[in-house]
Structure 1
Amino acid sequence: MFKGEKVFESEKSIKYLFQKSYSKTNSLVIIFSAFPTKGKQPAYNFVRTLSEFDCNKLFILDDFGSRASYYLCEKRDFSIERSVISLINFIIKENEIDHVISCGSSKGGYAALYYGIKYGFDHIIAASPQYYLGDYLLDQTNSQDVTLFMSGLSADEDHQFLNEIMPKMIDETQSKPNIFIHLGKDEPHYENHVKPLLAKLNEVHINYELDLGDYSKHSDVGKFFPTILKDNIRTLLHYPSLEITQSTNGKQPIGSQCTFEAKTESEKNKIAWYVFRENDRVEMKNYSTDHTLSVTFDHVGKYYVKAFAINSLKHKVSVSSEEIEVY
């Protein structure tokens, strides 16, 4: 079990991880997961990627069937979807949320689009999503195990049923979320899934932004999307940027010093610092407009610092430095 994982009991039991904002923000980022690597169990995606943001984050696990259900259905019964949206509505109500972003890549991108469009979320950030599930599961990946769980009838009927889920939902919706879609310009997904999706969005007058990367493998979305996801969330929710530079790294003798500098987009952003030795906090510096920290290593051990940046909106991010081993 993932640390902090909980189970929401509804028609189906939904496993999830909710990370509440310490700053009590009123926005929620929902993260849907992609297919797990073959031979591995379903997992939460982008937990580490989004760890720098002090915002409300809801990671939802799709561990139904043999590998996945697209957060939708079992034998055409959409009790999984009803349970997932019940969880989302519970989190929204309990935390007084009034701004929702859904995100994910591949299968997670499909789910982010499906839930974001159907339930009227404010923003959707999707990478290389599928659109025609029947084509993808039966023709392109031979995922009959997933198809059998979700649809469970003859192959022809399954194919049509799965292909129609997203188009039918878009035809019926009244919501107009802001949509951002990223994928490689030479990925097969672009021709097979994203172009038909964009045609449907154009048909119903839902605006979108398309971002094409210079790559051709579907798996490469894992290399490019994390940074794009962070940049989009930072822009949408008005979080500061933050990175750390340091004057030394690697192995250093006892008594040596290192100067750390926090790089952020505004000198008005305030910076706080924690210094860790062997994962124990040994020093701290409260928020100020001084963006540097000098540390003298007076004990043997492994050190790193963590910087926090907060802007005028009280939105906070944090990042950690590279480790320094003192001998």
Structure 2
Amino acid sequence: MKKWFISQSRKLYFGWIQRKKKMSNGTKLTYVLNTVPESDTLVIVFSSLTLKGKSVYNHVRSLNHIPHNRLYILDNFGYEKRGVFYLGEKNEMEVRDAVEELIMEICDSESITNKIFAGSCKGGTTAVYLGLRLKASQIIVGAPMYYISDCLKVKFGDYLIPMLDEDNPNSYNELNRVIRETVHKESYEGHIYIQYSTNDEYYASQIKPLIGDLKKKKISLFLEQAGYSYHDECSRYFSSFLKSVLAEEIKLIS
């Protein structure tokens, strides 16, 4: 009964404060924006994978205390509206383009000069990907995935189907290369903070290769090894990591 009450209260709360906007390509985004007029910093948090139910906002309470603007964007697309890694369906990038447009619009309207991208699991993958593309000041992530198709195939096959173009024989490989190609292509002068666990079942195949390629690019990395045993626990550990890193970063940019 308690869990049901919390779930319903959460739905009512976010249903009241969230906004919806149709972007120039026709994609409708749902998001929560908390503004702090005297701040020129925007913290953007992306949602992780959900095992059941629609996409939800993550790490909202963790950031209630910070004196800066916060943006939470839902990835309510794809399979049962559980997410498409903020990319799109059928190997398209309509969601990515809409999200980037929204972020830049908010940065312009709020006179933002520091962009901090954050998230765990799927949210971490997106934070790395869009953070590199949009030249974030800092990127703070937990257990990010590197090869999306391979990641989804292992445990989330239903998520993968709408993301692939069934008429394109290279669809699987193209989606798999999206993050890696961006890491190799984009220059980046900010800091990337990564929390991970060597016990994570995705560590060897996903997280370790990403860290290795970021090191080869000589990107400034700060790594923390956490003690969780399974990937599904990464979000809980990441909340504390996110708060501690932000506390230090906010001191530097204030």
* TM-score bucket (shorter structure): 0.7 to 0.9
Residue type at the aligned position of 1:125: I
Instruction: Give the total of aligned pairs.
Output: 237
Query: Given the alignment, which residue of 113, 116, 141 partners 2:128?
Result: 113
Alpha-carbon distance in 2 for matches of 1:54, 1:94 = 18
Structure holding more helix per residue: 2
**Per the alignment, in what secondary structure is the counterpart of residue 61 of structure 2?**
coil
Q: What residue number does 1:228 align with?
A: 241
**Does structure 1 retain, via aligned residues, the 8 Å contact 2:142–2:235?**
no
**Per the alignment, in what secondary structure is the counterpart of residue 170 of structure 1?**
helix
Alpha-carbon distance in 2 for matches of 1:98, 1:156 = 42
**Per the alignment, in what secondary structure is the counterpart of residue 188 of structure 1?**
coil
**Per the alignment, in what secondary structure is the counterpart of residue 188 of structure 2?**
coil
**Structure 1 unpaired stretches of 5+:** 240-312, 316-327
By how many angstroms is 1:190 displaced?
1.7
Query: Given the alignment, which residue of 34, 39, 60 partners 2:48?
Result: 34
Q: What residue number does 1:153 align with?
A: 166
**Does structure 2 retain, via aligned residues, the 8 Å contact 1:184–1:213?**
yes
Q: What residue number does 2:197 align with?
A: 184
Alpha-carbon distance in 2 for matches of 1:189, 1:14 = 29
Q: What residue number does 1:9 align with?
A: 22
Q: What residue number does 1:196 align with?
A: 209
Residue type at the aligned position of 2:182: M
**Per the alignment, in what secondary structure is the counterpart of residue 181 of structure 1?**
strand
Query: Given the alignment, which residue of 104, 116, 123 partners 1:101?
Result: 116
By how many angstroms is 1:163 displaced?
1.3
Q: What residue number does 2:227 align with?
A: 214
Alpha-carbon distance in 2 for matches of 1:215, 1:71 = 26
Residue type at the aligned position of 1:109: G
Alignment RMSD (CA, Å): 1.9
Alpha-carbon distance in 1 for matches of 2:167, 2:90 = 12
**Does structure 1 retain, via aligned residues, the 8 Å contact 2:124–2:141?**
yes
Structure holding more strand per residue: 1
Alpha-carbon distance in 2 for matches of 1:8, 1:45 = 20
Alpha-carbon distance in 2 for matches of 1:84, 1:225 = 23
Larger Rg: 1
**Does structure 2 retain, via aligned residues, the 8 Å contact 1:119–1:175?**
no
Post-superposition Cα deviations, 1:136-179, rounded to whole Å, max 9, x if no partner, equal 111x11x3332222122279733312210011112221223310
**Per the alignment, in what secondary structure is the counterpart of residue 68 of structure 1?**
coil
Q: How does 1:44-83 map to 2 (within 5 A)?
A: 44-66=57-79, 67-83=82-98
**Does structure 1 retain, via aligned residues, the 8 Å contact 2:125–2:146?**
yes
Post-superposition Cα deviations, 1:48-83, rounded to whole Å, max 9, x if no partner, equal 111111210000000001121100122122111110
Residue type at the aligned position of 1:129: P
Cα 1:80–1:223, aligned 2, differ >3 Å: closer, same or farther?
closer
Alpha-carbon distance in 2 for matches of 1:222, 1:83 = 25
How high is the sequence identity, in percent, across the aligned residues?
27
Q: Which has the higher contact order (CA 8 A, sep 6+)?
A: 2
Query: Given the alignment, which residue of 14, 21, 42 partners 2:36?
Result: 21
Cα 1:227–1:198, aligned 2, differ >3 Å: closer, same or farther?
same
Alpha-carbon distance in 2 for matches of 1:133, 1:222 = 18
Cα 1:155–1:145, aligned 2, differ >3 Å: closer, same or farther?
farther
